[in-house]
Structure 1
Amino acid sequence: MINHVDEAYLKLCQYILDEGNAKGDRTGTGTWSTFGYQMRFDLQEGFPLLTTKKTAFRLIATELLWFLKGDTNVKTLIQQRNHIWDEWAFEKWVTSDEYEGPNMDHFGNRAAKDEQFAVIYKEQMSIFQEKILSDDDFAAKYGDLGPVYGKQWRSWPDAEGGTIDQIKNVIHSIKNNPNSRRHIVSAWNPAEVDDMALPPCHTLFQFYVADGKLSCQLYQRSADVFLGVPFNIASYALLTHLIAKECDLEVGEFIHTLGDAHIYKNHLDQVNEQLSREHRALPTLHLNEEKTSIFDYEMEDLKIEGYDPHPSIKAPIAV
């Protein structure tokens, strides 16, 4: 069986392997990279959760709800057993003057290559996570990631000392002026980029209404194709579903436009394994019909049915 989501994603992977440029990067890992690539997904044909490897919908959904609540502290995510942002907060701690444990320089790469160090790293990460959960002062200092997505989406600082709620504004705009070409939310705030644990990779998205359907296009400046992009596809598809429901629209397309799309050199074996797998049928998303506001959803209001993917494929994260 071929589904258009896995087909488009694996085509991107193969294109980078065949045509990509060898480039260095901030993490020192090295990548194969291409610049400027676009994929289109028809959200009427199923929810775009990859089937050629298991992709964790719970992690995607809890992260998106965290963004939508304007939260920027990993404590909320750790409480929900979501650890996808832990490394960036952990790095803040282990590079501080207060950290007195073993040297954690380049912990991501070292843990992937050195089993003995990986044990030490996991011990320190467990200590960090426990301190985040048990010590409010520690969590406030080391759990906060700075003015990342949730802050920019819900509390962009304005010139008068107030804030702009971009998500509320874009929903109001879609409802009241659907033909507008200004249904835009930006996470890239030049005045605050240097204060973020990680400058936003998915930088700007725009909505488009036609024929009673809501479509979304994302511009992503930097795309970790193996680990990040499957999450980004599903996250923005989910966001489109949530906003479409609130605006009494059907879903249309999700268009994913990539700037620097790269495969890390320590992900090549994993990518080739995924390329060898057969596609399966896409799952279906079900939303709690009783919820009317995008800001009221909790994880239990979001259900995926019919998801039968191949097993997950582990790979180290570059920090």
Structure 2
Amino acid sequence: MRHPEYQYLDLMEQVLEKGDKRVDRTGVGTRSLFGAMLRFDLSDGTAPILTTKRVYWKTAIKEMLWFLTGGTNIQPLLRDNVRIWSDWPLATYRSETGEEISQEDFEQRILEDDAFATRWGELGPVYGKQWRRWMGADGQEHDQITGLIKSLRETPASRRMLFHGWNVAELSEMALPPCHMVYQYHVTSDGRLNCLLFQRSVDLLLGMPFNCVGASALQLMLAQQAGLRPGELVWVGGDVHLYLNHLDQAREQMAREPRPLPQISLTRHPENIDSYKISDFSVEGYDPHPPIAAEVAV
């Protein structure tokens, strides 16, 4: 059987060879393809954590746990040593104040000064806000995650088990509109939980590997809370792209041979979806190639 990671490497090759070269929102430029699908089987405990470069899986899961809190400020992330969201508020701070502060100093101020964090660490109504506190037109908040778990338990044959973050009314207030925007779930007759993740915009080198780890972790948590077993993760990409300053890194990664995917499991059964911690996740057998550094396009 062909290693499942080749799906990702083949997609990277397609983007490099056939991608439309375009100027994008960031000004960096991309090679872009429209429409892609990858499938990963989680039923045997396998985790789609790429091995052709090191993926910092704890960071990806910490981000997912932060989404589930409904939080929208980077201070809790920084306290957990997660820095992947700092670029956007830092760019806003520099633009509005004219101060050429370093990222390290900016993050330190966020950590040490609550008032500064409240003013400059806020990302707007991004993922967690929409997942846990979607504001309806009538002023009522909707917790999509709680509703999903209820449906998984009570109406597992439903075709309406999903949540999403594309709240049109609040897009302009977000530091970044949701890229991984729709998660739909499906329960098989023998009790396996499948997930289809639709990602409208895909930074193939940096973003997609993190998103697969986060989605897998969420799938494990939801399955456990609903008394199900993990099944298949189906990843669907819309605008799948490589930034022009990522092309050499992509070629370097494509030249590497995939290694066996690791195993992921939960070490305890928390009472609810809000009680999970990073220590509840165990990843074994992860032996990746070295990391590949690349700049985030903001």
Equivalence for 1:120: none
Equivalence for 2:87: 87
- Matching of residue 197 in structure 1 with residue 172 in structure 2: no
Per-residue CA deviations over 1:100-141 (Å, capped at 9, x if unaligned) read 423xxxxxxxxxxxxxxxxxxxx6212211110111111011
- Matching of residue 311 in structure 1 with residue 295 in structure 2: no
Q: Report SS of the residue matched to 2:26.
A: coil
1:187 partner amino acid: G
Per-residue CA deviations over 1:158-191 (Å, capped at 9, x if unaligned) read 1221200000000101100000000010100000
1:34 partner amino acid: L
Q: Report SS of the residue matched to 1:44.
A: coil
Equivalence for 2:251: 272
- How far is the alpha carbon of 1:7 from its aligned partner? 1.0
**C-alpha separation between the residues in 2 aligned to 1:88 and 1:7?**
32
Instruction: Answer with 189-198 or 210-219: which moved more.
Output: 210-219
- Matching of residue 36 in structure 1 with residue 38 in structure 2: no
| 1:280-291 equivalent positions in 2, closer than 5 A | 280-291=259-270
Do 1:205 and 1:219's aligned partners in 2 also have CA atoms closer than 8 Å?
Answer: yes
| 1:1-319 equivalent positions in 2, closer than 5 A | 3-4=3-4, 6-45=5-44, 46-96=46-96, 99-102=97-100, 124-210=102-188, 211-319=190-298
Do 2:264 and 2:283's aligned partners in 1 also have CA atoms closer than 8 Å?
Answer: yes
Do 2:224 and 2:269's aligned partners in 1 also have CA atoms closer than 8 Å?
Answer: no
Q: Report SS of the residue matched to 2:169.
A: coil
Per-residue CA deviations over 1:223-247 (Å, capped at 9, x if unaligned) read 0000000001111111111101111
- How far is the alpha carbon of 1:288 from its aligned partner? 2.4
1:140 partner amino acid: T
Do 1:153 and 1:187's aligned partners in 2 also have CA atoms closer than 8 Å?
Answer: yes
Change (3 A) 1:203 1:290: closer
**C-alpha separation between the residues in 2 aligned to 1:294 and 1:281?**
30
**C-alpha separation between the residues in 2 aligned to 1:189 and 1:151?**
10
Change (3 A) 1:177 1:271: same
- How far is the alpha carbon of 1:293 from its aligned partner? 1.7
1:69 partner amino acid: T
1:31 partner amino acid: T
Per-residue CA deviations over 1:42-86 (Å, capped at 9, x if unaligned) read 112511100000000111011000000111100000011100000
Do 1:2 and 1:280's aligned partners in 2 also have CA atoms closer than 8 Å?
Answer: no
- How far is the alpha carbon of 1:214 from its aligned partner? 0.3
- How far is the alpha carbon of 1:19 from its aligned partner? 1.5
Do 1:33 and 1:262's aligned partners in 2 also have CA atoms closer than 8 Å?
Answer: yes
**C-alpha separation between the residues in 2 aligned to 1:10 and 1:288?**
31
**C-alpha separation between the residues in 1 aligned to 2:137 and 2:3?**
47
Do 1:34 and 1:261's aligned partners in 2 also have CA atoms closer than 8 Å?
Answer: yes
Do 1:101 and 1:124's aligned partners in 2 also have CA atoms closer than 8 Å?
Answer: no
1:64 partner amino acid: M
Q: Report SS of the residue matched to 1:153.
A: helix
Do 1:2 and 1:279's aligned partners in 2 also have CA atoms closer than 8 Å?
Answer: no
Task: Extract unaligned runs of 5+ from structure 2.
Answer: none
Equivalence for 1:115: none
1:264 partner amino acid: Y
Cα RMSD (Å): 1.2
Q: Report SS of the residue matched to 2:168.
A: coil
Task: Extract unaligned runs of 5+ from structure 1.
Answer: 103-122
Q: Percent same amino acid among aligned pairs?
A: 44
Q: TM-score, normalised by structure 1?
A: 0.91
2:99 partner amino acid: G
Number of residue-to-residue matches in the alignment: 296
